[in-house]
Structure 1
Amino acid sequence: MNPHPQHPDDDNDDEMIGTLLSRRRALRLLGLGGGAAALAAGGVLAQRGGPPGGAGGSSAGTSGVTGLPGCVVRPAMTEGPYYVDEKLRRSDIRMDTTTGKVSGGVPLVLEFVTSRVAVNACQPRANVLIDVWQCDALGVYSDVQGNTGDFLRGTQVTNAQGKATFTTVYPGWYPGRAVHIHFKLRPLNAAGQATGEFTSQLFFPEAVTDQVHARAPYSRKGKRNTLNANDGIYRNGGNQLLLSVTGSPEKGYRATFDVGLNIG
């Protein structure tokens, strides 16, 4: 398997399919106004899907912007060319089920907390299918561009508290992109069918990435050529999807991302 060339998902970032919920409206529903509303008035960064299972959604998160609750609208971002619906229901996505090999790297525990934006509250939202996919420590994705396997891919359904936790590794890098993880959210109805879809990406603090990538196996790849500030996708709202991570390169990291989802 070879690391990928220049990444093509610089296009169609924040592509919109109608307006569902603006950040200003989300804050008003939560009973916040004034300075908070002004801070959040960066634009409508939500989508609404057409038929069940179609594109659309709205996202929120506490990461990257301090002083805001979880149910604040965040930007949708391009799916990119490396999504594969493997239908792998699992919490630990490190192993390649075709070979049994476990992806090397610094451990990362990533917890999603899904909610619905309601008046003065973020209500936990169960039965949301969460897909996660990412590159390994050397910038390689499984099952695309001639690569085999299914490592670093997996899905889970949120529980009654709206939570789903993935065990993975800190991502590596490849040319043209900052370090990131892709995710997709699909609310499910009682029959298990998707009633909407929202797709975006999560990013990492540069100082933490520097520490992680100085270690093996990441160091074999060399120094990354694209920082967050130089990534065309990150520049379209990536600071609102920047994870706050705790831990160390020796023991691993943990991050929680709150997602307000008002579709489906």
Structure 2
Amino acid sequence: MKKDCVKRISVVSMLKRREVLGFLGGTAAVSLIGCWRGQSTSAKPIGRLTQTPTRKAIAQTPTCVVKPQQTEGPYFVDEKLNRSDIRSDPSNGAVKQGVPLRLVFRVSGINGRSCTPLRGATVDIWHCDALGVYSDVRDFNGDTQGQKFLRGYQVTNANGTAEFVTIYPGWYPGRTAHIHFKIRTDSASGRGSEFTSQLYFDDALTDQIYAQSPYGTKGQRTQRNDGDGIFQDGGEELMLQLTQDAQGYVGTFDIGLQMT
């Protein structure tokens, strides 16, 4: 194990309070530990597009990385929709239009000093559509109660991965482009824990996508990453690196959890 990995474990007590308390739930205490294998995997702005990662690469053992918890926000609804493609509304089959996005979570558990894929964790995601509208809520955009588009969960497999097909999120006043996610462990027993946070995107790419239809019909967005108060609370660590494929974009997000 590399020295910098050992160093991060030795100073876990010095992590910011928000990075630790976010993992307290039930009777289990969950914390995030950074444990890099070789090169750091911290996100960088998408200055250029690279080749799409292969399925084999995605299935490899994930890296343990520190990620801060962020607010759940007002739009979480525990729909219990077990599905990978979250673009449609189950009530009528209508599919939300937008730039396709394949999102892969690689969840690992920290066992002693090693990182291993975490199987059986429930990963929920939810976000607004291209015009900034959430499903199953009543807010300034209107009433979408009963609709369930752009919501769903998947359970991580033996490789610790959970994969979704969705669209690039739109925007609404006060917020930059983002996707909410929640990871729950051992939820069936009632003794599990959960971690909730958000994913963010490079502003330059967001500008390119928002110039396209249907995003462009909403007009110029009013908030960017550096002006978003929630992004400022650790958003740089939650940037989603994207690559381009034939359908749209692919993003892989690594996160490590330790049960103590």
TM > 0.5 between the two?
A: yes
Over 3 Å counting, the alpha-carbon distance change for 1:80 and 1:263 in structure 2 is farther
Q: In 1, are the aligned partners of 2:26 and 2:191 still within 8 Å (CA)?
A: no
Give the drift of 1:73: 1.8
Q: In 1, are the aligned partners of 2:122 and 2:185 still within 8 Å (CA)?
A: yes
- Give, as a single letter, the amino acid of the residue that structure 1 aligns with 2:16: G
The number of residues matched between the two structures is: 229
In structure 1, what is the equivalent of residue 24 of structure 2?
A: 49
Q: Secondary structure at the match of 2:6?
A: coil
The equivalent position to 1:135 in structure 2, one of 123, 128, 138, is 128
Alpha-carbon distance in 2 for matches of 1:117, 1:56: 10
Alpha-carbon distance in 1 for matches of 2:180, 2:70: 9
Q: Secondary structure at the match of 1:234?
A: coil
Gapped runs of 5+ residues in structure 2?
A: 35-39, 46-61
Give the drift of 1:64: 1.9
The equivalent position to 2:172 in structure 1, one of 171, 174, 187, is 174
Give the structure-2-normalised TM-score. Answer: 0.79
The equivalent position to 2:43 in structure 1, one of 64, 70, 76, is 64
In structure 2, what is the equivalent of residue 23 of structure 1?
A: none
> 1:155-190, CA deviations, whole angstroms, 9 ceiling, x for partnerless residues?
01000110010000000000000100000000126x
Alpha-carbon distance in 2 for matches of 1:238, 1:212: 20
Give the drift of 1:63: 4.7
Q: Does 1:31 align with 2:6?
A: yes
Q: Secondary structure at the match of 2:232?
A: helix
Gapped runs of 5+ residues in structure 1?
A: 1-26
- Give, as a single letter, the amino acid of the residue that structure 2 aligns with 1:201: Q
Q: Secondary structure at the match of 2:217?
A: helix
In structure 1, what is the equivalent of residue 158 of structure 2?
A: 160
> 1:19-40, CA deviations, whole angstroms, 9 ceiling, x for partnerless residues?
xxxxxxxx9783356xxx99xx
Give the drift of 1:46: 2.1
Q: Secondary structure at the match of 2:258?
A: coil
- Give, as a single letter, the amino acid of the residue that structure 2 aligns with 1:258: D
In structure 2, what is the equivalent of residue 84 of structure 1?
A: 77
In structure 2, what is the equivalent of residue 225 of structure 1?
A: 222
Q: Secondary structure at the match of 1:155?
A: strand
Give the drift of 1:72: 2.4
> 1:96-150, CA deviations, whole angstroms, 9 ceiling, x for partnerless residues?
0001100000000000000012454321100100000000000000000121310
Q: Secondary structure at the match of 1:257?
A: strand
Q: Secondary structure at the match of 1:31?
A: helix
Give the drift of 1:261: 1.3
Give the drift of 1:238: 0.1
Q: Secondary structure at the match of 2:106?
A: strand
Give the structure-1-normalised TM-score. Answer: 0.78
Give the drift of 1:76: 0.3
- Give, as a single letter, the amino acid of the residue that structure 2 aligns with 1:204: F
Q: In 2, are the aligned partners of 1:129 and 1:157 still within 8 Å (CA)?
A: yes
Q: Considering only aligned residues, what root-mean-square deviation do their CA atoms show, in Å?
A: 2.9
- Give, as a single letter, the amino acid of the residue that structure 2 aligns with 1:95: S
Aligned pairs for 1:213-252 (under 5 A) are: 213-247=210-244, 251-252=247-248
Over 3 Å counting, the alpha-carbon distance change for 1:241 and 1:55 in structure 2 is same
In structure 2, what is the equivalent of residue 262 of structure 1?
A: 258
- Give, as a single letter, the amino acid of the residue that structure 2 aligns with 1:252: G
In structure 2, what is the equivalent of residue 121 of structure 1?
A: 114
